Each structure stands twice: as C-alpha cells, then as structure tokens.
Amino acid sequence: MDDKLALPVGTTLDRFIMRKQEEFPFATGELSQLLRDIALATKIVNREINRAGLIGVTGNYGQQNVQGEEQQKLDVIANIRFIRALRNGGEVCTIISEEEDEVIQTGNAKGKYIVAMDPLDGSSNIDVNVAIGTIFSIYRRMSEVEGDGTLEDCLQSGAKQVAAGYIIYGSSTMLVYTTGCGVNGFTYEPSLGEFFLSHPMIRTPKEGNLYSCNEGNINSFPDGIKAYIHYCQEKNYSGRYIGSLVADFHRNLLKGGVYLYPPTAKSPDGKLRLVYECNALAMIIEQAGGKATDGSERILDKTPTSLHQRCPLVIGSPDMVDKVEEFLAKEAVAV
C-alpha cells in the first residue's frame, strides 16, 4: 500500500474524510457525508454505552430478533440511533440490520447508498463491561437512483462494498474503516467529542501466534479445525477469545492472529452473518494485507441469497488463514 496515502497521526476524522475526498476529482461528497453520519451516530451510541449501568439500559429488551436471539436493550437503542442518523443524513436509500426482519426504506429516494449493519456486536458482553462493537458495510445501489432500494441492492457480494468499518467500544472507542485504499483507525477523545487518526494505514502481520475461537464447541468442529487447534497448541500459540467478534478481530488485526467461527452442531453454517458481520471485516482484513474465507472460499466472492444468512468464518493473518485451509483440505481428502 502506498504510504503517501497516510495522513499524520492527530488528523481529525472530519479533515481526513475531506482530504480523501479531494483525492477523487469526481467525488460528490455523498460518501463523505455518509461516513460523517456514521461517526455522529457512533458518538451518541458511545455515550449510551458508557453510562449504560446508570441509566437502566443493560439487560434484555424482552424480545427476540429475526434470528431467534434475545435482543438486549442496547441492541435496540444502537439500532434506532444508527437508523435515525442515516435517515436524517439523506445519502442512504435502504438500510439492512441484524436487528430488523426486513429492509428499512429511509424515504431518501435520491440516496445512492445501501448500508448493512450489526448495530451492536457482542451483546452477551454488554452487562459485564467487556468491549463491544458496531459493524457496517456500504454499497452503491444498483437500481436506479429514484425511489426505494431493492432486495437485489442489498444482496450484493462483499466485493462490491465501497466502504466498510467497525467501531470498538473498548478501553477507548475507536472507529476503523476502509474505502478500498487501506485501513485507518481513529480514536475518540470524549472531552472534545472528536475522532483523531491514531492508527494510519494499518497492516496486519503476515503471521501471528494468537488463535481465537470458542473452544467450548470443539467437539462439534469439523475435523480439520480440530486438527488446526491441536497444531496451535503444539506450537504454544495463545488462545484469546472475548466473544465479541469486533474485539477479537481488532486485537488480531493489530497483533497478528486468526479468528475462527466454524460450523458447529448448534450452528451448522457457523454463527456469524455474512451480510452484517463477515463481509465488512473481510474487506478490512484484505485491505490490511490479511485474508478471510469460509474455510475454502473467499468471503468477498460469496453472493448472499438471503439477508440474514450465516457463514463460517476464518479471518486474520494471511499465513494463518492459509494454514487453516490446508488442514481443512487435508481432512476433506482423508474422508
């Protein structure tokens, strides 16, 4: 990746977005505005998360989402906040969300963009002060710019993303995103209400020694994954698993490692969602020099057939992902 593209640490997110826009002579500023809308929603959600224990928004909401998962109050709050910001911003015609059964039409008939999001990732960690996140993908609509976006607009392959990112609400809050020219990370300074560039042009290590999966499920992992985990143990790799995909991904991105959510008895297609979780992180890891597959196929090449479909995920340092695939291929031949 060209280092000339890097801006100095300390640049505000707003200035960064503006400078990037200037590099594209025909840019209309709509994508820039959309990124600003996301940053605004992030600040609001960050505020709610930080004081969650004090304002009674921890715990169950009392309903299940379309995937039969218990919604947490913060899942619902984050979903509302992001939808509101994107609707008011005007650049997005259609939103799809992990927390919504159907597509959401914003009424912005001239909006050129589609947003797919997991408004709050890592629900089970909300009540215990462990890092949680938000994941988003941005697509250009394929249908004519007038009226509602279509289901086809929403089911584009991950390779068509024009931008993708995540927010990690951790020991500090960070926004990490790519528009296809490398990955940049911004840290939130709450007293100023600003994101500042703190991690320019992130590259993931080619190889690492962290592996992240829910080892409690090992008995029902495919044999190739079991063999790979055994290999990690033999090599004395460190097992690191938070149970918030964003947090596990972020650590491995910076330090080098591999995250695996393979098929299990309970979730035969894996647990993670192709459209809301896997695609965005796959674009980011590739832009940072890493890899993302479902065990054999590149995530970004998969064409979703339904909004909420699940997909196995192997993502992280490229040599580690290759190794996992090697183990899976070997077991496939042995059967």
Q: Terminus-to-terminus CA distance in the chain, angstroms?
A: 41
CB of 263 to ligand AHG, least distance (A): 12
Lookup result for tokens 């259609």: 94
Question: Which of helix, strand or coil describes residue 214?
Answer: coil
- Is 106 or 244 the residue whose CB approaches ligand AHG more closely? 244
Binding to ligand AHG by residue 279, rule CB under 6 A?
no
CB of 28 to Mn ion, least distance (A): 31
- Is 37 or 118 the residue whose CB approaches Mn ion more closely? 118
Binding to ligand AHG by residue 69, rule CB under 6 A?
yes
- Is 33 or 214 the residue whose CB approaches ligand AHG more closely? 214
- Is 118 or 286 the residue whose CB approaches ligand AHG more closely? 118
Cβ-in-10-Å burial (0-12, 13-18, 19+) of 198 comes to: middle
Q: Which residue stretch of 48-56, 104-112, 114-122, 162-170 sits at the interface with ligand AHG (rule: CB under 6 A)?
A: 114-122
Positions in the binding site for Mn ion (CB under 5 A): 98, 118, 120-121
In 110-268, which residue ranges form alpha helices assigned H by DSSP? 151-154, 223-234, 245-255
> Cα dihedral sign for 58, 59, 63, 68?
positive
Adjacency order of strands within the sheet including 238-239: 238-239, 210-212, 258-261, 313-316, 291-293
Partner interacting with residue 244 (select from ligand AHG, Mn ion, none; CB below 5-8 Å by kind): ligand AHG
CB of 293 to Mn ion, least distance (A): 19
The Cα–Cα gap between 48 and 67 comes to: 25
Strands (E) located in 141-280? 161-169, 173-178, 183-189, 194-199, 210-212, 238-239, 258-261
Size of the site for ligand AHG (CB under 6 A): 11
- Is 209 or 220 the residue whose CB approaches ligand AHG more closely? 220
Which residue of 71, 106, 123, 179 would you call a contact of ligand AHG, by CB under 6 A?
123
Give me 100's structure tokens.
């919504």
Establish how many alpha carbons lie within 13 A of residue 188's alpha carbon, considering only the half-sphere containing its beta carbon.
22
Give me 325's structure tokens.
């695939």
Q: Which residue stretch of 145-153, 176-184, 199-207, 242-250 sits at the interface with ligand AHG (rule: CB under 6 A)?
A: 242-250
Binding to ligand AHG by residue 118, rule CB under 6 A?
yes
Which residue of 105, 157, 214, 309 would you call a contact of ligand AHG, by CB under 6 A?
214
Contact residues: ligand AHG, CB under 6 A: 69, 98, 118, 121-123, 214, 243-245, 271
